Chains A and B, each alone.
Chain A
Amino acid sequence: MVQADRLRKRYGPNLALDGVTFQVERGDIVGFLGPNGAGKTTTMRILAGFLPASSGAAAVAGYDVARDSIEVRRRIGYLPEGVPLYPEMRAEEYLMFRARIKGLGRRDRRRRVSAVIARCGLGTVRRKTITGLSKGYRQRVGVADALVSDPPVLILDEPTIGLDPNQIREIRELIRELGGDHTVILSTHILPEVEAVCKRVLIIHRGRIAFDDMLEEVAGHGAGGTRIVIEARLPEGARPDAIADVPGVQDLSVEEDGGVTRVTVLVAPEPDIRGDLFRRAVGLGWTILELRRIKPSLEDVFVRLTAGED
């Protein structure tokens, strides 16, 4: 549904994008991550037809973003960073205007604007001027605008920034509902947001795609692999590293805390050796208080790929 092929973008001497290539299938919800200045907004602007790429090509729904810009723009709902709106217009009036320039006929316009107002929870502020709206409501007006023409592709640049936790949940819920019949690309700094909403993750770093995989596969890319933490009371004189002889244990570290020993064992993601560790520890006479597996999080992957170089 969305294809980027070796996109490069130069701002004067700065290379903002250096060969960005990816594909997004119909119905995917893709989290687009990266440190500030990595090229997220630039990529989204190119896809939305606001900026041309210096070289490379991008296509949305089969239309080239440079050659058939208008056709691409008809099929995209775009929420720019910072949600620019006309402050002097009323919320509903603004959405009617946007629906009209997006080519909706008079009757569709009324129907769709009512639908997005209901969907984004704007019913109580529809007649208010945008200047007077809170940040949360403005953000929702922006999302409502992106949705108003019911486009197959949604590009949302930081849709939940500046919202309170309840509003964030509402917007996430909305985005989750949109998946399936809509293709969604959303950028964010909030990693749990991606874990909550997205099926797929793209991490961009210094103008290149550093990671492109399904969310479930993130574990395999983890920094330091999977860890198993065992908290136990050990018999007098027992050595905590005695369980190191269980096959699959790669490394092990020990902490003492008020009579409780915490052993952190580094293992490969597969096979799962939690049972073996349990039996071995019990065999050694340990009283197990807790045993849990920690898979590497998206945050671990993100930090490993993007930190430390700047």
Chain B
Amino acid sequence: MRNVPALFWREIVSMFFTPLAYIVLTVFLFFSGFFFYWVAADSLRASFTDFSGVLTFLFLVAAPFLTMRLLSEEYRSGTIETLMTAPVTDTEIVLAKFLGAMAFFTLMLLCTLAYVGVLATLGDPETGPIVAAYVGLFLMGAQFVALGVFCSALSASQIVAGVLALVLQLVIWVLGAAGTVMVGPFAPILAYAGTLPHLDAFANGRIAFRDAFYFVSLTCFWLFLAVRALESKRWR
């Protein structure tokens, strides 16, 4: 893990020197601002619960844009060859990519604290549920990003990587929704596998081990698959 900081810094440099990240950030802030106004004005109460649902959806769409180029671009430009012939392990490469994208995601998340500030001036929102919601959004984001890293490790095409990440994410999303409306022995399994029920728990102000474990384990799972996918590039 010695080389992760160096690789991480390179990710940050390339992230902040390419326009895509700024475009994603701008579009994200525009829509989140718009929805914040809408939700707040509509409900006329200083609540963060509804708004965190909006943020979830925006992150769902934004995450593939942040992650799609991570490894795909290295494959396409051939720089993967210089990277994989340097004395760094595949795990270090994947971890650095993940942390690089997480840094940008965290920045996006921090930007939304402005809305919390607005809520605080309008009313007196409870701190606890907001902290819980942010913990949930962060963990969920980690899972989105890890999935994106995995998809990016599969293809030299950014488009393929991005679309695949979005589709997989939506499938997992729908699983949870299906689990909550279905009956029968598989319903609880589906409900656990889906994203939404766990996120709702956080949004409602509960930080439960069970929900945190869900996101953390899924994040590790995607990163593990990403390392395998990267390794398999050597075998082709």
Residues of A near any B CB (own CB < 8 A): 11, 45, 48-52, 70-71, 73-74, 76, 78, 80, 82, 84-89, 93, 97-98, 100-103, 145
Question: Is the beta-carbon distance between B85 and A86 smaller than 8 angstroms?
Answer: no
Q: How far is B84's CA from A80's CA once the two chains are assembled, in angstroms?
A: 11
Contact residues of B between 120 and 170, Cβ < 8 Å to A: none
Question: Is the beta-carbon distance between A52 and B87 smaller than 8 angstroms?
Answer: no
Which of B14, B77, B80, B85 is within 8 Å of A48, CB to CB? B85
Selected A-B contacts with CB under 8 Å, 30 pairs: A11-B236, A48-B85, A49-B84, A50-B81, A50-B85, A52-B234, A70-B87, A71-B87, A73-B87, A76-B85, A78-B85, A80-B78, A80-B81, A80-B85, A84-B79, A84-B80, A85-B79, A85-B82, A86-B14, A88-B13, A88-B14, A88-B17, A89-B14, A97-B6, A97-B9, A101-B6, A101-B86, A101-B87, A102-B86, A102-B87
Q: How far is B82's CA from A98's CA once the two chains are assembled, in angstroms?
A: 9
Closest to A73 in B: B87
Question: Is the beta-carbon distance between A49 and B85 smaller than 8 angstroms?
Answer: yes
Give the Cβ gap from A283 to chain B, nearest Cβ, in Å: 65
Closest 9 CB pairs of A and B: A84-B78, A100-B6, A84-B79, A73-B87, A80-B81, A48-B85, A88-B17, A74-B87, A78-B85
Q: Which residues of A contact B13 (CB under 8 A)?
A: 88-89, 93
Closest to B79 in A: A84
Give the Cβ gap from A155 to chain B, nearest Cβ, in Å: 9
**Digit string of B63-105 for contact with A (CB within 8 Å is 1, else 0)?**
0000000000000011111101111110000000000000000
**Known contacts A86-B79, A100-B6; A50/B89 CB under 8 A:** no
Q: Which residues of B contact A70 (CB under 8 A)?
A: 87, 89
> Interface size of B by Cβ–Cβ distance < 8 Å?
25
Q: Which residues of A contact B87 (CB under 8 A)?
A: 70-71, 73-74, 101-103
Check: B3 CB closer than 8 A to any chain A CB.
Answer: yes
Contact residues of B between 183 and 201, Cβ < 8 Å to A: none
Give the Cβ gap from B163 to chain A, nearest Cβ, in Å: 24
Q: Which residues of A contact B79 (CB under 8 A)?
A: 84-86
**Known contacts A50-B85, A76-B85, A80-B82; A88/B6 CB under 8 A:** no
Q: Which residues of A contact B85 (CB under 8 A)?
A: 48-50, 73, 76, 78, 80
Q: Which residues of A contact B236 (CB under 8 A)?
A: 11
**Known contacts A98-B86, A102-B87; A84/B81 CB under 8 A:** yes
Contact residues of B between 1 and 16, Cβ < 8 Å to A: 2-3, 6-7, 9-10, 13-14
Closest to B18 in A: A88
Check: B235 CB closer than 8 A to any chain A CB.
Answer: yes
Q: Which residues of B contact A80 (CB under 8 A)?
A: 78, 81-82, 85
Give the Cβ gap from B86 to chain A, nearest Cβ, in Å: 5
Q: Which residues of B contact A85 (CB under 8 A)?
A: 79, 82
Q: Which residues of B contact A100 (CB under 8 A)?
A: 3, 6
Which of A71, A84, A103 is within 8 Å of B82, CB to CB? A84
Q: Which residues of A contact B14 (CB under 8 A)?
A: 86, 88-89
Q: How far is B81's CA from A80's CA once the two chains are assembled, in angstroms?
A: 7
Give the Cβ gap from A185 to chain B, nearest Cβ, in Å: 14
Q: How far is B10's CA from A85's CA once the two chains are assembled, in angstroms?
A: 12
Closest to B6 in A: A100
Give the Cβ gap from A40 to chain B, nearest Cβ, in Å: 15
Closest to B89 in A: A70
**Digit string of B99-117 for contact with A (CB within 8 Å is 1, else 0)?**
0000000000000000000
Q: Which residues of A contact B89 (CB under 8 A)?
A: 70
Which of B7, B78, B80, B234 is within 8 Å of A101, CB to CB? B7
Give the Cβ gap from A95 to chain B, nearest Cβ, in Å: 12
**Digit string of B1-40 for contact with A (CB within 8 Å is 1, else 0)?**
0110011011001100110000000000000000000000
Q: What would 6 more interface pairs be, CB under 8 Å, given A84-B78, A101-B6?
A: A11-B236, A73-B85, A73-B87, A89-B10, A89-B14, A93-B13
Q: How far is B235's CA from A145's CA once the two chains are assembled, in angstroms?
A: 25
Q: How far is B236's CA from A175's CA once the two chains are assembled, in angstroms?
A: 32
